[in-house]
Amino acid sequence: MVKLRWIVFGVLVLFVVSLASTTASQLTQAQQPKIYTMGMLSDLRTTNTMRTIRTASVWEAYVLGPRHCSLFGLSPTRFYYIPSLAASVPYKPGTTELNLQKEGDLFTLVVDLKKGVTWSDGTEVTADDVVFSMYEGPKLFGGGDFVKGVTTLGGAWTVLLDPNVLEKVEKTGSHQVKLFFKQANLRIQWAILFADIFQKKYWEPKFNETKGDRAKLEALEVNDEPACGWGAMPEALKAPGVGWQRGAFATNVANPNYFWKGVKVDERDAQGNYSEEKPGVYTYKQPVPAAAGPELARYETGPFIDRASYRIFADTSSAVAALIKGEIDMLLNPLGADPGIRAQYRSEPKIKTQDNKSHGMFYQSFNLRRKPFGSGPLQKDPKFRDDDIIGSRFRQAWNCLIDRDFTTQTLFQRVAFSLQTVVSPANSFWFNEKLRAPCDEFSEQTDKTAARAKKVARAVEILKSVGFTWVKEPTANTTTGAVTAGEGIILPVILSSVDAKAGQAVSVPSGAIAVGAKVKLDDAAKAELTVGATKVKSDAAGKISAALGGATSVTLNVDGKLYFYGAGDKTKDRMPTANFIYPNSAYDPRRALFGVQTEKWVNQIGIPVRGVPTGFNVIVTKVFDEQDFDVWSLGWSLGGLTPPDYLESFFHTRHTELGDDNPQGYSNPDVDAMLDEFLKTLDLNKARDLVFKIQEILLVESPYVPLFDTAIVDAWRDDKVVYPFVERTQGIVGMGGMPALVKLR
């Protein structure tokens, strides 16, 4: 399963599906509603969108997506930046640059809204809703303090309404708002203008009632929230049925007041334009044409259904069987399909499939607050802090042991592809293709004899460079491939630290067996640590580590901080067994298999890890809501092919609180500064240079261990449904099955 930071990308691309509670057999033929039935592989945790704005699973995004709108969004096939609630994109004339104006110390942007857009209860969407959603609501929740309100709401709220960027939002007309920003920033266009817009009338009393208490707000039962998207739960429309029955189904009913019904969209005409038109109401054309080329998609917006219905399945095999039997029309499966599932699809001629590119990341990560996974500023034991040198080397060694190519190509039978960095190759402008994961040059896919031994030897070398020892040290013969398993890895102790000057010989304290150094990032490219006759270069993060090998002094060629490590006690400092939680095989056999393989690989070198196959929602709760874990594996769907501002959410220190998107507790001041600079940079080429450098640092630091991604394999009943297009990055499932566009046969 994929966990998703949910950002609403605009009404025309919102996706929601659910299960009707009234079956067709209860109705006469003339009364039968048009029900679009889909299957999904996990239950919701909530129907409260204030909770899911903070952090949502992809399943919650599918079902709850149409409740809210946004000012702007991305077009479905080409990812053009388009207006949603906004009447147009406020570009500077003849450009695709936002028309930000300087007013004193602030930057401002005026946005005109479409007129006539209504909520599902028939009331109009106005500037009051926008101002409440983006400013007054969080301010009310914070007791009159906008910054406090946003930070208390937490998670993606702090991205979508980033208080370091957004100063305030004012109503300047019934259908016009003015946004004030503290700085010109990439996040304005790619996050803040995508923020959820929800109904003031519905949420204002709830914000007032729960003021300052996020748990109380998120505990509210919310099935009757009015929607401005294509559909809402039955309770909101006073329709028969229920919106969600835990473990069984969810339901959305078509919004009779959906403003965009009947909109005609042309994703690219012969002149390279994006256009949309609601005859007699409005016309929008992309002001700066894209490169001319073939037409990608031309369609009309519905909905053409009465209800979208979601059946919740306990495992993938049951969901696939239901599709083959015709019990569901389409299977929303963002996890890909192995050869066995593909063969089942081929056995039923009425099933059609489409392979689409994905933009996601399946990964493993660690709790850096716990030893030995982290030794940075958030490490709970202050005696185990050394600028995260020990922690980064431990994680790097873990990463080194991973064999992506063998797993994806042989064990997964080529239905997945390896990921090297935290930016997907699908987002090609931002992907640093020169980077390779630690030890990735060794793979059983190409060297069945010695690759594992080479990985073990290198991982042991990395660990010994910061003073790890063993009750029984693992050995590896890189010629024959023989490996003798290790036992009982022992954590090092930090004996002392020294602020060293360039060229200064520093004496090694008694008992030290390894040394680490942290230098300024600007000095990393030239920094070297001399240990005896050996010169050890800095990594991209400005960190150096080496076993001392009997050296009595060490010398840095630049200013920096040195840490000396001694061997830990065989009893007191022996690493306890760590629990590694990953999705069970019924939910995602690939991550389950990767979990089993990883458990085997790390235990082989004496790192005691116990794999614990776990339900998806349990993992999400333990990791993001409770931060009670050692190691975990999940996945992200990374949205459109836009600047990867998610890097700031995943890896900046300010996002390490409960409910935030950096639950691992990664904290690196150098990376924080680079992420801040990246978001402040409007020059995309300069921003890309920063993202390339950030990827390089995160690769050696390994707070995430990217594993793989899979192609999206959309599967549907061709005898039951018709889609206006089926080829797009993220697939049909990336639009939640296209409930606003699909037609039933």
**What does the alpha-carbon distance between residue 358 and residue 273 come to, in Å, rounded to a whole number?**
25
Q: How many H helices and E strands in the chain?
A: 20, 40
The pLDDT confidence band at residue 681, using thresholds 50, 70 and 90, is confident
Query: CB–CB of 671/694 below 8 Å?
Result: yes
Per-residue model confidence as pLDDT tens digits over 265-276: 988 766 667 889
Cβ atoms < 10 Å from Cβ of 14: 29
DSSP H helices in 374-531: 389-401, 404-406, 451-464
- Phi/psi at 701 (5° precision): -80, -30
Residue 456 belongs to a domain: no
C-alpha angle with apex 256: 251 to 258, nearest 5 degrees?
95
Report the C-alpha gap between 153 and 48 in whole angstroms: 13
Does 132 share its domain with 217? yes
How does DSSP classify residue 609? E
Q: How many domains does the chain divide into? A: 2
CATH of the domain at 182: 3.40.190.10
Q: Are residues 291 and 373 in the same domain?
A: no
Q: Examine residue 396 and state whether it is found in any structural domain, yes or no.
A: yes
Cα-based angle 625, 631, 634 (whole degrees, multiple of 5): 65
Answer whether 445's CB lies under 8 Å from 406's CB. Answer: yes
261 and 408 share one domain = no
Question: Rounded distance, CA 707 to CA 696, Å?
Answer: 16
Distance from C-alpha of 680 to C-alpha of 544, rounded to nearest angstrom: 30
- CA–CA gap between residue 301 and residue 261 (Å, rounded): 5
State whether 315 and 408 are in the same domain.
no
**Parallel, antiparallel or unpaired: strands 609-614 and 721-722:** unpaired
Residue-number span of the structural domain to which 394 is assigned: 359-378+390-439+575-710
Tell me, yes or no, whether 65 and 205 share the same domain. Answer: yes
Q: Which amino acid, residue 460?
A: V
Distance of CA 719 to the CA centre of its chain: 35
Q: Is residue 511 part of a domain?
A: no
Tell whether the model's pLDDT for residue 5 goes beyond 60: no
Same domain, 34 and 155: yes
Q: If pLDDT is split at 50, 70 and 90, which confidence band does 26 have?
A: very low
Range in 12-21, 174-183, 714-723 the model is least confident about? 12-21
- Taking only the tens place, the pLDDT of each residue in 259-300 is 999 999 988 766 667 889 999 999 998 877 666 656 678 899
**Token pair for residue 676?**
């801040």
Instruction: Let me know whether 23 and 128 are in one domain.
Output: yes
Question: Could you read off the pLDDT of 654-669 as tens digits, one per residue?
Answer: 999 998 899 999 999 9
pLDDT value at residue 293: 59
Residue 637 has pLDDT above 90, yes or no: no
Alpha-carbon radius of gyration of the chain: 27
Q: Could you tell me if residue 616 is inside a domain?
A: yes
pLDDT of 20 higher than 80: no
pLDDT digits (tens, 9 = 90+) for 55-104: 888 899 999 988 899 999 998 888 888 999 999 999 988 788 899 999 99
Cβ neighbours for 213, distance < 8 A, ≥ 6 positions apart: none
Q: Distance (Å, rounded) from C-alpha 53 to C-alpha 137?
A: 14
Rounded CA separation 215/53 (Å) = 14
Distance separating alpha carbons of residues 456 and 442, to the nearest angstrom: 10
3-class secondary structure, 692: helix
Contacts of 673 by beta carbon, 8 Å cutoff, 6+ apart: none
What local confidence, expressed as pLDDT, does residue 576 receive? 97
Identify whether residues 374 and 235 lie together within a single domain.
Answer: no
- Cα 121 from Cα 119, distance rounded (Å): 5
Interval 434-458: pLDDT, tens: 999 999 999 999 999 999 999 999 9
Q: Are 636 and 614 in a shared domain?
A: yes
According to the model, what pLDDT value does residue 212 have?
Answer: 92
CATH of the domain at 429: 3.10.105.10
Within this chain, do residues 283 and 314 fall inside the same structural domain, yes or no?
yes
Pair 78, 166 in one domain: yes
The 10s digit of each residue's pLDDT in 331-347 is 999 888 888 899 999 99
Q: Are 565 and 466 in contact, with CB atoms under 8 Å apart?
A: yes
Q: Where are the alpha helices (DSSP H) in 605-683?
A: 616-620, 646-651, 669-680
* 179-224 pLDDT, tens digit each: 999 999 889 999 999 999 999 999 999 999 999 999 999 999 899 9
Mean pLDDT over 467-473 rounds to: 97
Closest CA to 504 of 563, 564, 559, 565: 559
Look at residue 23 in the predicted model and tell me its pLDDT.
Answer: 30
Beta carbons of 350 and 717 less than 8 angstroms apart: yes
Q: Cis link prior to 372 (omega < 30° from 0)?
A: yes
What pLDDT score does 17 carry? 28
The pTM of the full predicted model, rounded to 2 decimals, is 0.85
Give Cα separations from 386 to 304, 383, 565, 591 (angstroms): 60, 9, 10, 33
Residue 118 sits in the same domain as residue 260: yes
